[in-house]
Amino acid sequence: MAKGKAKSRKKKRRSKKKKASAFGRDNKCRFCRAKAQEVDYKDLTTLTKLLTPQGKMFSRKRSGNCARHQRMVKVAVKRGRFMSLLPYVG
């Protein structure tokens, strides 16, 4: 048995401060805000905003898309690459 009293460990609670939203963005997906039903592979200006300079796609967290529209973007990027509108490698 251990000598003495058991020490109680209390966790300090930190006050939760609300962080400022990144770049003043809306929480909604860009396609949801525009009420887009589908993502077009021929819309290169929108698709290039969702790609890195190396040609990789940004994650959902980074791009701000919802899961449904991120899947549509994935298919649109694949179609754009196949039609040689977008590069496979930057």
20 band by pLDDT with thresholds 50, 70 and 90: low
SS3 79: helix
Pick the CATH number of 29-82 from 3.30.70.100, 4.10.640.10, 3.40.50.970, 3.30.420.40: 4.10.640.10
Considering the chain, what percentage of its residues have pLDDT values greater than 90? 67
Sequence-distant (≥ 6) Cβ neighbours of residue 33 within 8 angstroms: 26
Q: Which residue has the higher pLDDT, 35 or 8?
A: 35
The predicted pLDDT at position 2 comes to 63
Residue-wise pLDDT for 44-77, tens only, equals 999 999 999 999 999 999 999 999 999 999 999 9
- Cα four-point dihedral sign 13, 17, 23, 28: positive
Q: What is the largest CA-CA distance in the chain?
A: 76
CA distance 59 to 36: 20
Domain range summary for the chain, segments of one domain joined by + = 29-82
